[in-house]
Amino acid sequence: MQMTREAPLKYSLEPSNHPYLSGPWTPVHEEVTVDELEVIEGEVPKDIGGIYLRNTENPVHQPLGRHHPFDGDAMIHQVSICNGKVSYRNRFVRTHCFDAEQIAGQSLWGGLMDPKGTSKRPGFGAHGGLKDTGSTDIIVHAGVAYATFYQCGEAWMVDPVTLENLGKAPWGPLDGVSAHPKVDEETGEMMFFNYSKHAPFMHYGVVDRAGKLVHYVPIPLPGPRLPHDMAITKNWSILNDMPLFWDEEALKKDIHAARLHEGIPTRFALIPRHGQPDEVRWFEASPTYVLHWTNAYEAKNEDGEDEVVLEGYFQDKPMPDPLEEFGRYAHMMAYVDEHSFQPRMHR
């Protein structure tokens, strides 16, 4: 086993007992490559091969204000398996914001829990005041790994084998790309959406197997929303408009305070993969918030009618009152739920 280290980075983060900066959350600052990891027990089958990628938040600089775990800089961890051997490497994603803070030697942007005025420079994403970290997800499409940001930043390209930074995606739209694009392995297409504080508040797009943006349309919403994930089936893309979003009165004062609007239903938008805005089918459900979807597929119901089935983590009460039995995790309680839609119906 041999380890090589990349040149050290500038970092200013101080030791802390903050629960998200210590213990298992202690940030990693070294970039290393380890060839042929030692196998402690057993052996690695030679007929298994591939690469596992994981995107993580690793803050490099001392926060300007309060720290939230979503604020950290993107670091990609890679485990490669080939011919019975396993190797490891990790690299930071060199976003424009990361490079700017390396030059400055300090944080230049506030975090999710800070007032917008905390940042020393204009911010990015739907919020408009945050650092585009690219630290939320990693998606491989057309031979490139894309690091994405949960509030719609650039899609930052990384070589999935070497982890070499390749810059931002040339097809990225003005309003960015949300955290979780979906890839259809059969067609090679990648579907994505974004959201913003200006009309029409959401867009939906398709990137073909060659990495070219071939479809991009507006999805008009009643106002600014905070969708996080989407789902796809063979013929449909599923977007959502949920009643947990920034308080409208606070937003007029440039305060980004999310709350549940209990009188507003959850809405799901089904759009044909290359569909137009007038082809969107809207479906309503009880007020909730779903952060991630687990599956979606097309089926027929008992009457032989076409349905789209969507499965995800339905939060019974997205902003619950703390319950003693759940302790500090009360606000995170969720369970898997399933909804079915008939895409030929409009209601």
Residue 301: per-residue pLDDT = 87
**Planar angle of CA 265, 206, 295, nearest 5 degrees:** 50
Task: Give whole-number Cα distances, 306 to 235, 244, 298, in Å.
Answer: 12, 30, 7
Same domain, 189 and 129: no
DSSP class of residue 322 equals P
In a domain, 179, yes or no: no
Please tell me the total count of domains within the chain: 2
| Residue for token pair 């040149």 | 7
Joined together, the tokens standing for residue 38 give 């030692």
Is there a single domain that holds both residue 126 and residue 209? no
Last residue of a domain, one of 169, 202, 235: 169
Instruction: State whether 309 and 260 are in the same domain.
Output: yes
- Please tell me whether residues 61 and 133 are part of one structural domain: yes
Structural domain of 313: 184-347
- Residue 4 token pair: 């090589």
pLDDT per residue over 75-95, tens digit each? 999 999 999 999 999 999 999
**In the prediction, which pLDDT does 331 show?**
53
Q: Enumerate the β-bridge partners of residue 51.
A: 80
Do 230 and 180 touch, CB atoms closer than 8 A? Answer: yes
In which residue ranges of the chain is pLDDT below 50?
Answer: 344-347
